[in-house]
Amino acid sequence: MCGDLMCVYVDILIILNTLVNYFILLAVDKILRIHSKRWRILLGGAVGGLSSLLLFIENLGVIMTLLKIITAIFMTVITFGIKPIKRLLKSVFLLFAITFLFGGVLFAIYIFFEKDILIYSNGIVYFDIDLTFLIVCTVISYVVITIISKITDKKAPKSKEYYVTVENAGKTISCTALMDTGNNLREPFSGYPVIMLDKELFQKLFTVEKIRLIPVATVNGESVIRALRPHKLIINDFVTDKVYIGESMSQLNEYKMILNINLEGEIYND
């Protein structure tokens, strides 16, 4: 498509917006510390890249706004999953916030620099620039995001929120869990990490033949808890059966599961 100032090449339009959306989603991932797989972030970015074809559609009005909202939700679901809903809503909100910030930067470029190198229409950006220059800018952007992420990770609290699903003997439970640096309990024979689960949810997974008693040290002295080894534990994209689920000795409120800190490295490296 050729406008008054320049021709818009569809391939460059899609590639450019895929990269832009990739880094916006990567920023969302870093800020919320979701640790989604890179291929999922790229796939979400590709959906955003394909949506850049809306540039060629005019006079849609409210329908265009609805299409953008649907696209944003679809991108976040592909990248981060649909559950928990609270995290999905945060992701969508943050996606729009960063996109608006990016739009402000583009507007500044449009005002203060060469206007004939940029088209910004229907919320879609197109630069008439060399592809090599675009790749260099992409690499630099990735390095900057990585550095910022490492700095914020050092300042961030070690406790992190996850959405967890446990399957055992045909029974399944799902809940929001907290990674606790204070929980490094292991089952003494296998050495597998022990995760603490709320009493009520533990009863739903309970099977007599698989129960293991595990000694624990508390502020009140030595004690034992009931534990079982599930058929499958799913945390984000990490799946394992080399773990024990222990029955919490007290009622858990906001988070129904306390994850073991020894799982942290495995979750991130998966």
Question: Would you kindly state where each structural domain of the chain is located, as residue ranges?
Answer: 10-155, 160-269
How far, in whole angstroms, is CA 204 from its chain's centroid? Answer: 28
Q: What is the dihedral of CA 192, 158, 265, 218, to 10 degrees?
A: -10
Greater pLDDT, 80 or 55: 80
Q: How many whole angstroms separate alpha carbon 252 and alpha carbon 176?
A: 11
**Percent of the chain residues past pLDDT 70, beyond the cut:** 66
For tokens 């679809």, the residue is 74
pLDDT surpasses 50 at 55: yes
Q: Is the peptide bond before 84 cis (omega within 30 degrees of 0)?
A: yes
For tokens 């899609």, the residue is 14
Q: Take residue 270 and report the two structure tokens written for it.
A: 């998966």
| For residues 115-124, average pLDDT | 54
Question: Taking the chain, what is the end-to-end CA distance rounded to the nearest angstrom?
Answer: 43
* Least trusted range by pLDDT, from 59-73, 138-152, 230-244: 138-152
Q: Take residue 111 and report the two structure tokens written for it.
A: 């005002």
Per-residue model confidence (pLDDT) at position 5: 44
- The reported pTM is 0.52
| For residues 204-224, average pLDDT | 79
Q: Which CATH superfamily is domain 160-269 in?
A: Acid Proteases (2.40.70.10)
pLDDT 10s digits, 30-53: 777 777 788 888 999 898 888 777
pLDDT 10s digits, 180-198: 878 888 998 898 999 999 9
Q: Any idea what DSSP says for residue 162? A: E
Give which of 141, 123, 117 is closest to 53, Cα–Cα.
123
Question: 246 falls in which pLDDT band (50, 70, 90)?
Answer: very high
Q: How many whole angstroms separate alpha carbon 233 and alpha carbon 241?
A: 6
Helix then strand count (H, E) for the chain reads 7, 11
